Amino acid sequence: MNDFAQAVQALRPQLLRFAQAQLRNQAWAEDAVSETVLAALAKPQAFAGQSQLKTWLVGILKHKLIDQIRRHSREVSATTHDDDENIDDLLFDQTGHWRTAPAEWGDPEAACGRREFFEVLEVCVEKLPGVQGRVFMMREWLELDSLEICKELGITATNLWVLLHRARLRLQTCLQERWFGHATAKAAT
């Protein structure tokens, strides 16, 4: 194996983690990553050191992930039911008031300046329930617009907004627990 092939293979575990976080299906994730690696090895000249190898591979992977979502659209559509316990009921009482008032998170730059913050955010995204996680990643990582997501998943806009609402609320709750309410965040400010 040449250096290029070795460098590509070395990134495979990370690509697989990304693919799994997006598709929430091990077999499809393996397929997307294999296709990405094959495509990369087939035309190494396309890379030509134009950017970081990882950035280039992730760019290919994103296209392969959208292919996978299309290829399995029927199965994906069949599993858009979100059986998540309602996060709103955990956060609000029967009169619609906060059970615990949301905390001040401070200056966005203070959090965004630290790579540990993104590691925690990454964990929180991976912990999202399957359907919410898939939709959230399509929106925020693959950067698809609402119309495309609805089309690919065969869901209504209202359904999409409910899923994104729950995903975003869950993420903020997770970040409060694991970062902002935590000593590591305070130590830096």
Partner 1 sequence: MSLLFRNCREVTALVLAGEDRQLAPIERGAVWVHLKVCAACPAFKRQVALMRHALPRWRAYRDGE
**Binding stretches for partner 1 (CB under 8 A):** 18, 52, 54-55, 58-59, 88, 91-92, 95-98, 101-105, 108, 111-112, 115, 117-118, 121-122, 139-141, 143, 146, 157, 160-161, 164-165, 168-169, 171-172
DSSP sequence for 80-91: -------HHHHH
Closest CB to partner 1 among residues 18, 28: 18
| CA–CA dist 117, 69 (Å, integer) | 29
Give the shortest CB-83-to-partner 1 separation in angstroms: 20
Shortest spacing between CB 113 and partner 1, in angstroms: 9
How near is the Cβ of 74 to partner 1 at its closest, in Å? 25
Collapsing DSSP states into helix, strand and coil, what is residue 102? coil
Question: Do 9 and 37 contact (CB within 8 A), yes or no?
Answer: yes
Closest contact distance (angstroms) between CB of 72 and partner 1 is 23
CA pair distance 85, 162, nearest whole angstrom: 13
Nearer to partner 1 by C-beta: 75 or 116? Answer: 116
Report in angstroms the alpha-carbon separations of 4 from 22, 91, 175.
26, 50, 38
CB closer to partner 1 out of 71 and 156: 156
Q: What are phi and psi of 187, to 5 degrees?
A: -60, -30
Q: Which residue lies nearer to partner 1 by CB, 28 or 56?
A: 56
